[in-house]
Chains A and B, each alone.
Chain A
Amino acid sequence: MTARATERNDAPVVLDATDRALVNALQGGFPLCDEPYRAVGEGLGLSGDEVLERLRRLLDRKVLTRFGPMYQIERIGGAFVLAALKVPEADYERIAGLVNALPEVAHNYRREHALNMWFVLATETPQGIPAAIGKIEAATGLPVFAFPKEREYFVEMKLEA
């Protein structure tokens, strides 16, 4: 991989022990009570305001990419599909810009393979997926390889801080 592809916006961040405990606590179930940040803080020896202040800083520093409900869009009538492109290296930045411009692209990663751009389409209806694929193929002139899930065996995205 070239130097350009190192994670320019994603260098490891130094976290103190309290930040680590908070990141770990916030990956569990968040309480549905009147003052949930205060409730989370009680287990960590923090006030609700301290939890909020640290949470804002973790989001600002991009240690966390988001905080809130993680929707399983298929259960609310929509669709998620993993898809990939074989992008010519010389045109990579331009194609990334075209793909990322679509609101249906929820996330997008460069991966080291002939199929070197992998993204997830999230649409409000199942029909939105072929429409989004059509838009990407028209904009980029490249065929989209779609990898709809046929079976889900396990999903639980938690990383210990």
Chain B
Amino acid sequence: MDEIDRRLVVATQGGLPLVPRPYHALADVLGIPAAEVRARLAAMLDAGAIRRIGAVPNHYALGYRFNGMTVWDVDDARVDAMGEKIGALPFVTHCYRRPRHLPDWPYNLFAMVHCKSREDADRLVEEIAALLGPACRARDVLYSSRILKKTGLRIAG
């Protein structure tokens, strides 16, 4: 990432300009042609530096009131194979392996599910549990009960 890319990140981390020609608006701010703005964004998309350009919905406003971080203590020898399987489930939005913090926290596999009812969420958790089978030794589901902050990335301008 060069200095112009960095300035492009700073200019867009709060959002894309809400004007008919947003890439031209960014071009004016950065002092480069609009075609270069588009090319730089396309390159960052190709490189995975931008996951996608789009909208981030507020789960609750769309009716997804049961946002569960499901956490599982999975045998280290099997966690990667299981993580791939759980991540491939259509209703899992994020799936990661993370470190345990013993004795407080025995869980090493994290999978997020978003549901409109508690019954739906319970059913999905059971689906994950069935897939893990005996590879899983303990589990929990942490529901979010309040958004305390949601601004996304902010690097200094």
Is B58 a contact partner of A10 (Cβ separation < 8 A)?
Answer: yes
**Secondary structure dominating the interface of A:** mixed
Q: Using Cβ atoms and an 8 Å threshold, which residues of chain B touch A146?
A: 99
A156 on the B face (CB < 8 A): yes
**Secondary structure dominating the interface of B:** mixed
Is B54 a contact partner of A36 (Cβ separation < 8 A)?
Answer: no
Q: Using Cβ atoms and an 8 Å threshold, which residues of chain B touch A10?
A: 58-61, 147
Pick from B20, B55, B59 the residue with the most CB of A within 10 Å.
B55
Q: Using Cβ atoms and an 8 Å threshold, which residues of chain A touch B142?
A: 111-113, 115, 118
Is A55 a contact partner of B95 (Cβ separation < 8 A)?
Answer: no
Q: Using Cβ atoms and an 8 Å threshold, which residues of chain B touch A75?
A: 47-49
B157, chain A: closest CB distance, angstroms = 11
Q: Using Cβ atoms and an 8 Å threshold, which residues of chain A touch B23?
A: 32, 34, 36
Contact of B61 among A13, A29, A38 (CB under 8 A): A13
| A118-161 with Cβ < 8 A to chain B | 118-119, 122, 124, 145-161
B78, chain A: closest CB distance, angstroms = 13
A11-B60, A154-B88, A157-B93 are known contacts. Are A34 and B21 too (CB-CB below 8 A)? yes
Is A152 a contact partner of B96 (Cβ separation < 8 A)?
Answer: yes
Is B61 a contact partner of A149 (Cβ separation < 8 A)?
Answer: no
B134 on the A face (CB < 8 A): no
Q: Mark B2-28, 1 if CB is under 8 A from A, else 0.
A: 000100010011111011111110000
Q: Using Cβ atoms and an 8 Å threshold, which residues of chain A touch B53?
A: 29-30, 32, 68-70
Is A151 a contact partner of B80 (Cβ separation < 8 A)?
Answer: yes
Of all chain A residues, which has the CB nearest B85? A153
How many chain B residues touch A (CB < 8 A): the figure is: 76
Contact of A149 among B24, B52, B98 (CB under 8 A): B98
Is B144 a contact partner of A115 (Cβ separation < 8 A)?
Answer: no
Given contacts A12-B60, A26-B54, A150-B99, 17 further A-B contacts (CB under 8 A): A1-B145, A7-B147, A12-B61, A32-B23, A58-B55, A68-B12, A70-B53, A71-B50, A76-B9, A114-B104, A119-B148, A122-B154, A124-B155, A150-B98, A153-B95, A153-B97, A159-B62
Q: Measuring CB to CB, which residues of chain B are less than 8 angstroms from any residue of chain A?
A: 1, 5, 9, 12-16, 18-24, 34, 38, 41-42, 44, 47-65, 67, 69, 80, 83-84, 86-88, 92-99, 101, 104-105, 110, 114, 140, 142-156
Q: Measuring CB to CB, which residues of chain A are less than 8 angstroms from any residue of chain B?
A: 1, 5-13, 15, 23, 26-30, 32-38, 48-49, 52, 55-56, 58-59, 61-73, 75-78, 82, 96, 99-100, 103-115, 117-119, 122, 124, 145-161
Q: Can you give 12 A-B contacts (C-beta < 8 A)? A: A10-B60, A23-B62, A58-B55, A68-B12, A72-B51, A106-B153, A108-B147, A109-B148, A111-B145, A115-B104, A124-B156, A146-B99
